[in-house]
Structure 1
Amino acid sequence: MARHADFWWHLEQRIRVEWWAVVASLALFTLLISYFSTGLGLIRLDQTFYDATLATSTTRAASPDIAIIAIDDSSLEALGHWPWRRTVHARLLDRLHEAKAIGLDIVFGDADRVFPNDDAQLAQALSRQGRVVLPLVLGAGTGQRPLAPLAEAANRLGYINADLDSDGTVRSVTLQRAPASGAQAQHFVVSMLEAAAADTALARLKTRPLATPLLIPYAGPPGHFTMYPYWAVLDGRVPAARFKDKYVLIGAWGTGLGDKFSTPAARMGNAMSGVEVLANELQSALENQWISTPGRWQTALLACLPVLLACMALRRLSPRRSFLIIAAVLLLIFVASWLLMRYAQIWMPVTASLIGVALAYPVWSWRSQEAALQHIDHELRKLNSERGAIDLALVPGERTRADGSLSARITQLHGAIAQLRHAQSKREATLRFLSHDMRSPQNSILALTQMQSHPGHALPQPELLDRVNTHARKTLGLVDGFVQLARAEAIEITRQPLDLVDLVTQACDEFWALGQQHHMAILFTDHPEAAWVNGESTLLARAVCNLLDNAIKYSPDHTEISCHVYRRDQAWAILILDQGRGISLQQQTGLFEPFTRLNEDAPHNPSGAGLGLALVKTVVVRHGGSISVRSNEPRGTAFEICLPAVEM
């Protein structure tokens, strides 16, 4: 018990150390890949998860305060090919005098040389409306700006540069920039809020870091906002009252016209027009709703939480349950990310956590199994050093691989368990032998000597000596049988070629005289010239002699004992057949167990220790062979030994 407790205590200590090492390693690994995700390329996976999460969690309705006047295919068909005369835009602006602010998403960077007076008419319309914002494009040098008269007539200017990620998708917007010229520029959306004098929205917006990208919570896919065809508004089909106190965005939406962008909300590969991107940015600014994300260090630390959760579960669960827990934690990461996006508008990158949790199961399985197997190896080495050469006796004929694979180490463990079980059975057999078989004749001798001390019960000296001699011989027989069995189990077998025909012939000659005393004939005829096997001649001869001795003991006088040697497939067989009283099927089940004696209480039953057949089986099995018995009760028993044949 002390050794058992010590074994498991040391193993538990080793597993605990391995667990802390796995936790620390995975946490550090997850922390680093999260912090350096951009440089490692993991940002692309995070972007993919972000797009899927945003697209499935968005349920916001388009703001009723925002309307889009689209330069669509029907407008191009009604008003002619693009570009239109600038007086057309001036007429449209005159119809939108009740709009809160107008964003004209068309860059008028060059003068109209065909209709030079149109620029002045457009400038006058801009002045009359008074709340129009014109776009500019920041870039190398001066970028692209509206004509000076138009820029002066507009209420505000704002840049419309899209923040494209590495995969060409618009996920964020920067509302303030410092271009190369040094003058700070503001985004088109901020200019529209200023033009509409939306002080509350501006005040909320300026609490955010406008110079850093803000993630856009897209309200929906393309076509989500209220949209009116340009020609219908210009023609009066759409009443001007529809645009009262609204933010109006005018921009291209037609096929092959204007900018198209990939966005998280654009499903099935449909791109979103630039004017719709502006509408989503404007709604986010009006509602002060942006998707926030923790800083790099915060993100890295939070990414470790699922890994720690998975490791805590792995410490106490079985491999099957651990696998299910890992799958549940992976699913939980996606669910938590979706819920944070849906209800808190917080994006938590998930790739680092997914990698860390996915690695937890194989890494922990590797380290825990390796720790357990190494500890078992250590205990096996201690066991082998303590037992010395006893391995051969405990697991005769068993071969184990010596490599470090899992199967080989488990086989070695199985062999050690078999050794322990065999050692336990040997211990029990030895105790039984010492406590019963050995003590019985000694007690009988003691009883005889005590009887002799009482004259009234004393035996005649010849009878006394005969009885003492009988019990002493029985004791010596028991000791001899036990020693022979132990030697057969423990001796190292030196395998040499030997002829079974010669071996059986010598055994028959050895028992010829004993057979003659009982008027028995021992016949050995009809055998091959030679039957070669590899083995230890002394042990095999002892096994054959034990069978012949039993055949003589358990057969009546005036009978025959026949011996045969013949080929059976890839083996040579020795058959010893007697005409004795036979063995029942029930008795045959434990026939080769040590200390098994049949009909021990029957009259005239031969004496013995019950170790002869156990020795025979031990010798045969250790030579890689097999032994079987066939009996026709009440008369006749045949023992057959099969040993692997060798060619000479």
Structure 2
Amino acid sequence: MTPTSHEPGADFWGNLDRRIQAEWLLVTLALLSLTFALAWYGAPLGLARLDHAFYDKTLAASVRGVHDDRIVIVAIDDGSIEKLGYWPWRRALHARLLDRLRHARVVGLDIVFSDLNPSYPDDDDLLARAIARHGRVVLPLVVDGPRKTAAPPLPPLSRAAAAKGYINVYPDEDGVIRSLTLRQALADGTPVDHFVPAMLAVAGQPVEYGKRAGDRRLIPYAGAPGHFRLYPYSEVLSGAIPEEVFRDKHVIVGSWASGLGDAFPTPLSHDGEAMSGVEILANGLQAAMNDSWIAEPARWQAAILACLPVLLACAALRRLSPSKAFLASLAVLLLIFTGSWLALRFGQLWVPFTASLVGVALAYPVWGWRSQEAALQHIDRELNALNQERRRLDGGLPARSKRYGRTLSARISLLHDTVAQLRRARSNREETLRFLSHDMRAPQNSILALTELQSHPDSALPQDELLRRINSCAHKTLILVDGFVQLARAEAASMSRHPVNLVELVTQSCESYWASARNKNISIEFHDTPDEAWTRGDGVLLQRAWDNLLDNALKYSPPDTAIHCGIRAKGASWELSIRDHGRGMTDAQRQALFRPFIRFDEDSAGNPAGAGLGLAFVKTVIERHEGAIAVAAAAGGGTLFTITLPGDPDAPEGPAAPASA
């Protein structure tokens, strides 16, 4: 079987996509598990307090402000205490009140009658007869929480009452009354109803408990304290309120006075304002009459529902860009709040959502962490593979000019640097192909054409001319090959770094080209330089780079001119300059000056021969020595090349200062 070619790019992105998919599954499962656990164990973890706070705000925003006119409160308020005397009142007054409420459908006396009143022993019988005459009076029980026993009213009152129900309300851990428990079992297993269903049973509207009789029922409060129709006890007793007002009404009689202590905070309380116990009972009675309790899902159902927004957020994160995923996460958070309000407002359903908020809030940063880490790990592996391949091809890597850390920005910079190298490599490949297909083929084709002409006697050239032309083509080929090889070595070969005296380097170059300059009557001036200028690098490459610049200056300078060379200190670096008085160049030519295989005015008369690789070689060598090269030129005004190389702080005598400014 013939092996298929390996495609690193496709393999990279394929592996990355599979890794991202696996990371997404792990992140999604982890967040769903966390959300489920938070929803399941919300109470011991303290999330219930946050759920209560969200519930209170949502309920306050969902209140419809409608109360049932069938419910009336007869309040033992401060005005009634002022008129009738200090509390507790004689039970004979309660008996008279019941006679005034004889048209009511049911009367709930939210007043505890568990103790005898020795001062008025006959009042209990008066009240018992009044309760019996009315026939639709409900009396309260008080359940002792730890012992689960109920304290009933006095026996004659208990026998006369149509029904009895406990009036205990159980606040949440923050002390707020949000619910009622409509039935519970005493220590002996006897079931006992709450005051609210006891009243409805007497009124002929029994409550259907269903399978969850002992579960708490969230109260859909009709409004802030004082929302129900209320009549002062003293005015009802005195007849100021007509008896017909109470016909077929559900009447609750209870304390409203500030000093009686029967008041509790509710979800609709503001600035410490409490709601009286009798009004809490009225709200519960309204909910039971209309079956408008706010439902809560079972514990496992609430945990599953809490996971749905997290799953939605994770699905969006997998398919969207980071910016859109962030907006999608915010949209899911908004959807949680909006959905909870709609469910409470129109569906009478409350689903705690703090666990969902935590899960969705964590989704974006956790997914960003894992997806970026996966991508960066793949980038690191690909970069390592690329470096190993370069080591195999080059026999060694050039030293990096920058140090990269392990942070995200550092690795992105490394990726950017590598991509830039790949782009340069692609550009170099295209230029190499062009070089091989055109520049290298042209002189070879010329030699083949000359030999073809020489094979025919009528077109044969004289031997001297033939050899001259072949020699020219071969010489041009050698120039191209030499320039190409030099550039390739400068780009890929490893460099040996050792101290290099730039003054000595420039001096040797000037002496080497003295004869060529003399032939054109050009003077090479090298003055006002320091005694020594040390840098670290490859002396051979630096020497060849400077030779290329000096050679170009000689080629493009007219006779009887001068070339100025100089070295001066610039901070911790050395600045080398070479100026000629040649033809100069335009701005467009200056922009493309260091590109390989670029030659200007190639067809102009007297233009020096070359491959267009010399300045590309110079730029490559200087950059690999962590330096920079700049050019300043104008058409017809000569050219100035400036090279900046870092100084060597470990030079034998330290960095030298220039001889003159």
Q: Secondary structure at the match of 2:143?
A: coil
* Contact 1:400–1:412 (CA under 8 A) maintained in structure 2: no
**Does 2:302 align with 1:299?**
yes
Out of 128, 137, 140, which is 2:142 matched to? 137
Aligned residue in 2 for 1:416 = 418
Return the offset for 1:141: 7.6
Residue 367 of structure 2 corresponds to residue 360 of structure 1 = no
Candidates 327, 351, 357, aligned match of 1:348: 351
**CA offset digits 1:19-47 (Å, max 9, x no partner):** 22222222222222212222222222222
Structure 2 match to 1:550: 552
Alignment counterpart, residue 562 of structure 1, candidates 545, 561, 564: 564
Matches of 1:173 and 1:384, distance apart in 2: 71
After TM superposition, give the deviation of residue 103 of structure 1 in Å.
Answer: 1.0
- Alignment match of 2:109 (pick from 97, 101, 104): 104
Could you tell me whether the CA contact under 8 Å between 1:390 and 1:490 is conserved in 2?
no
Does residue 24 of structure 1 match 2:29?
yes
1:95 equivalent to 2:100? Answer yes
Which residue of structure 2 aligns with residue 175 of structure 1?
Answer: 182
2: CA distance, partners of 1:543 / 1:597 = 18
Question: SS at 1:294's partner residue?
Answer: coil
Q: Which amino acid aligns with 1:545?
A: D
> Match of 1:41?
46
Q: 1:392 to 1:53 in 2, by over 3 A?
A: farther
* Mapping of residues 283-298 of structure 1, within 5 Å: 283-298=286-301
Query: Could you say what secondary structure the match of 1:575 adopts?
Result: strand
In structure 1, what is the equivalent of residue 515 of structure 2? Answer: 513
Q: Which residue identity does 1:10 align to in structure 2?
A: N
C-alpha distance 557-187 of structure 1, shift in aligned 2 (>3 A)? closer
Whether the 8 Å contact between 1:395 and 1:419 is mirrored in structure 2 is no
Moved more, 505-514 or 577-586: 577-586
**Alignment map for 1:209-608 (pairs within 5 Å):** 209-388=212-391, 398-403=401-406, 405-608=407-610
Closer/same/farther in 2, CA of residues 551 and 266 from structure 1, 3 Å limit: closer
After TM superposition, which residue ranges in structure 1, 4 or more long, deviate above 6 angstroms? 389-396
Q: Deviations over 1:146-182 (max 9, x none)?
A: 2222222222222111122222222222222222244
Distance 1:616 1:414 in 2: 24
Amino acid corresponding to residue 609 of structure 2 in structure 1? S
- Tell which deviates more after alignment, 79-88 or 570-579: 570-579
Paired with 2:339 and 2:548, the residues of 1 have a C-alpha distance of: 78
| CA apart distance, 1:550 | 1.5
Q: What are the Cα deviations for residues 293-352 of structure 1, in whole angstroms up to 9, with x where unaligned?
A: 221122212221111111121111111111111111111111111111112211111112
Q: Is the 8 A contact 2:177 2:266 kept in 1?
A: yes
Asked whether the equivalents of residues 397 and 624 of structure 1 are also in contact (C-alpha less than 8 Å), the reply is no
Does structure 2 retain, via aligned residues, the 8 Å contact 1:391–1:419?
no
Residues 149, 186 of structure 2: 8 Å contact kept: no
Taking the aligned partners of 1:168 and 1:345, their CA distance within structure 2 comes to 23
Counterpart selection for 1:191 from 185, 198, 201: 198
Q: Deviation at 1:430?
A: 0.8
> Could you state the TM-score of these two structures normalised by the residue count of structure 1?
0.94
Q: Which amino acid aligns with 1:356?
A: G
| CA 1:218–1:113: 2 relative to 1, 3 Å | same
Would you say 1:74 and 2:79 are equivalent positions?
A: yes
- Between the aligned partners of 2:641 and 2:158, the Cα distance in structure 1 is 116
Letter in 1 for 2:266: T
SS of corresponding position for 1:477: helix
Q: Secondary structure at the match of 1:133?
A: strand
- Counterpart CA distance in 2 for 1:258 and 1:526 is 101
Q: What one-letter code is carried by the residue in structure 2 that aligns with 1:172?
A: S
Per-residue CA deviation, residues 519-558 of structure 1 (Å, 9 max, x unaligned), is 3332323322222222221111111211221122222333
Which residue of 1 is the match for residue 170 of structure 2?
A: 163
Q: Secondary structure at the match of 2:623?
A: helix
1:260-301 CA-to-partner distances (Å, cap 9, x unmatched) read 112223334321111111111222222222222221122212
Letter in 2 for 1:72: D
Could you tell me how far apart the structure 2 residues matched to 1:241 and 1:391 are?
107
Evaluate the alpha carbon distance shift between residue 636 and residue 44 of structure 1 in structure 2; reply closer, same or farther with a 3 A threshold.
closer
Q: TM-score, normalised by structure 2?
A: 0.93
**Contact 2:527-2:565 within 8 A present in 1 as well:** yes
Partner Cα separation in structure 2 for residue 544 and residue 225 of structure 1? 99
Q: Select between 18-27 and 502-511 the one with higher mean Cα deviation.
A: 18-27
**What is the one-letter code of the residue matched to 2:35?**
T
1:116 paired residue among 115, 121, 130: 121
Tell me which of 153, 157, 180 is aligned to 2:160.
Answer: 153
Distance in 1 between the 2:543 and 2:498 partners? Answer: 14
Letter in 2 for 1:66: I
**Structure 1 unaligned runs (5+)?**
none
Tell me if the contact between 1:60 and 1:219 (Cα under 8 Å) persists in the aligned partners: yes
Q: Is the 8 A contact 2:394 2:493 kept in 1?
A: no
Matched position secondary structure for 2:575: strand
Aligned residues: 643
Question: Residue type of the partner of 1:34?
Answer: A
Contact 2:398 2:492 in 1 (8 A): no
SS of residue matched to 2:55: helix
2:130 aligned with 1:125, yes or no?
yes
**Residue 2 of structure 1: how far off its partner (Å):** 4.5
Bigger shift: residues 45-54 or 98-107? 45-54
How many angstroms does 1:570 deviate by? Answer: 3.2
- Cα distance, 1:271–1:541 mapped onto 2, change above 3 Å: same
Partner in structure 1 of residue 647 of structure 2: 645
- How far apart, CA to CA, are the structure 2 residues paired with 1:540 and 1:102? 108
Q: Distance in 2 between matches of 1:191 and 1:31?
A: 38
Question: Percent identity between the aligned chains?
Answer: 55
SS, match of residue 269 in structure 1: coil
> Which digits, 9 at most, give the CA deviation of each residue in 1:231-287, with x for residues without a partner?
111111100111112111111001121411122233343211111111112222222
Aligned partners of 1:454 and 1:290: how far apart in 2? Answer: 114
Q: Structure 2: how far apart are the matches of 1:393 and 1:606?
A: 36
Q: How far 1:397 sits from its partner (Å)?
A: 5.5
Task: Give the 3-state SS of the residue equivalent to 1:228 in structure 2.
Answer: strand
SS of 1:205 mapped into structure 2: coil
One-letter code aligned to 1:308: L
1:67 aligned counterpart, secondary structure:
strand
CA–CA separation in structure 2 for the residues paired with 1:223 and 1:448: 116
Q: Report the Cα distance in structure 2 between the residues aligned to 1:383 and 1:585, rounded to whole angstroms.
A: 37
In structure 2, the CA distance between the partners of 1:629 and 1:172, relative to structure 1 (3 Å rule), is: closer
User: Is the contact made by 2:500 and 2:536 (CA closer than 8 Å) also made in structure 1?
Assistant: yes
Alignment root-mean-square deviation, CA: 2.2
CA distance in 2: counterparts of 1:417 and 1:333, whole angstroms:
43
In the alignment, which residue of structure 2 is the partner of 1:620? Answer: 622
Q: 1:627 to 1:322 in 2, by over 3 A?
A: same
